[in-house]
């Protein structure tokens, strides 16, 4: 999913104004990341990672449309196809309509194997059809893992709108909290580090099955503009 040219220009101006400390002179770049779906969420979070020093490949069905975004973000940003991006990095950030996941998994099964996938895709019945209801009933995190066999899925960045993420990134402590859920300890650690690099505090809710606690409107962890302490309290987690 991509912006119109007008909305993309406005987005670039907004994201470039995010207040972040520059990288120290001579600092090494960080782990490469592939962002699949350079719309509002993918574009916002991906830009925050670039500004934190991560090389990021933004992917869409029409990579040429991403040229203004990657030019604005500088040499750490690049554009590519979905397949190119998945081959590019061992960490994948998914921010596409949920109904796209089965095709992405089928088309890129070999290249996705053993990769860490941060899943920000929400299942929406009006857009994604019957599979949304199935995913919500199964648990969206568990369902995503089924569509992407061989990967290590962590649910993250699915609970807040891009405008909130854009405005609240790297605010003075206490920072805004992002709930996470995943089964693989190493993947969870990577996701926690990337949440911090984007300018937020991670809150681990539990395994993938616990992602149902923040998978849709009305769930206790969904839509909460809260600090880590506040979010843990709302979810009944240990301080």
Per-residue pLDDT tens digits for 125-178: 999 999 999 999 999 999 999 999 999 999 999 999 999 999 999 999 999 999
- 28 pLDDT band, cuts 50/70/90, is low
- pLDDT in the model for residue 26: 39
Q: Looking at the predicted structure, is the pLDDT value of residue 231 above 70?
A: yes
3-state secondary structure the chain: CCCCHHHHHHHHHHHCCCCCCCCCCCCCCCCCEEEECCCHHHHHHHHHHHHCCCCEEEECCCHHHHHHHHHHHCCCEEEECHHHHHHHCCEEEECCCHHHHHHHHHHCHHHHCCCEEEECCCCCHHHHCHHHHHHHHHCHHHHHHHHCCCCEEEECCCCCCHHHHHHHCCCCCCCEEEEEEECCHHHHHHHHHHHHHHCCEEEEEECHHHHHHHCCCCCCCCCCCCEHHHHHHHHCCCC
Q: Looking at the predicted structure, is the pLDDT value of residue 1 above 50?
A: no
Percentage of the chain exceeding pLDDT 90: 87
Q: What is the pLDDT of residues 95-135, one digit of tens each?
A: 999 999 999 999 999 999 999 999 999 999 999 999 999 99
Q: Looking at the predicted structure, is the pLDDT value of residue 21 above 50?
A: no
> What rounded mean pLDDT belongs to the chain?
91
- pLDDT in the model for residue 27: 41
Q: What is the pLDDT of residues 54-75, one digit of tens each?
A: 999 999 889 999 999 999 999 9
């Amino acid at each position: 999913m991509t912006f119109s040219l007008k909305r993309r220009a406005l987005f670039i101006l907004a994201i470039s104004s995010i207040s972040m400390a520059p990288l120290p002179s001579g600092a090494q770049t960080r782990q490469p990341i592939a962002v699949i779906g350079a719309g509002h969420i993918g574009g916002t979070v991906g830009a925050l990672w670039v500004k934190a020093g991560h090389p990021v490949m933004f992917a869409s069905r029409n990579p040429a449309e991403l040229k203004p975004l990657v030019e604005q973000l500088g040499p750490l940003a690049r554009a590519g196809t979905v397949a190119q991006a998945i081959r590019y990095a061992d960490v994948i950030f998914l921010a596409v309509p949920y109904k796209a996941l089965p095709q992405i998994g089928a088309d890129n099964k070999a290249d996705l194997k053993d990769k860490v996938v941060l899943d920000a895709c929400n299942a929406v019945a009006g857009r994604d059809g019957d599979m949304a209801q199935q995913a919500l009933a199964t648990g969206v995190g568990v369902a995503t893992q089924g569509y992407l066999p061989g990967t290590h899925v962590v649910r993250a960045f699915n609970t807040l709108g891009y405008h909130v993420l854009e405005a609240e990134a790297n605010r003075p402590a206490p920072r805004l909290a992002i709930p996470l859920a995943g089964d693989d300890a190493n993947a969870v650690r990577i996701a926690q580090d990337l949440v911090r690099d984007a300018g937020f505090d991670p809150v681990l809710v539990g395994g993938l099955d616990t992602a149902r606690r923040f998978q849709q409107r009305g769930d206790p962890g969904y839509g909460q503009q809260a600090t880590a302490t506040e979010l843990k309290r709302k979810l009944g987690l240990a301080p």
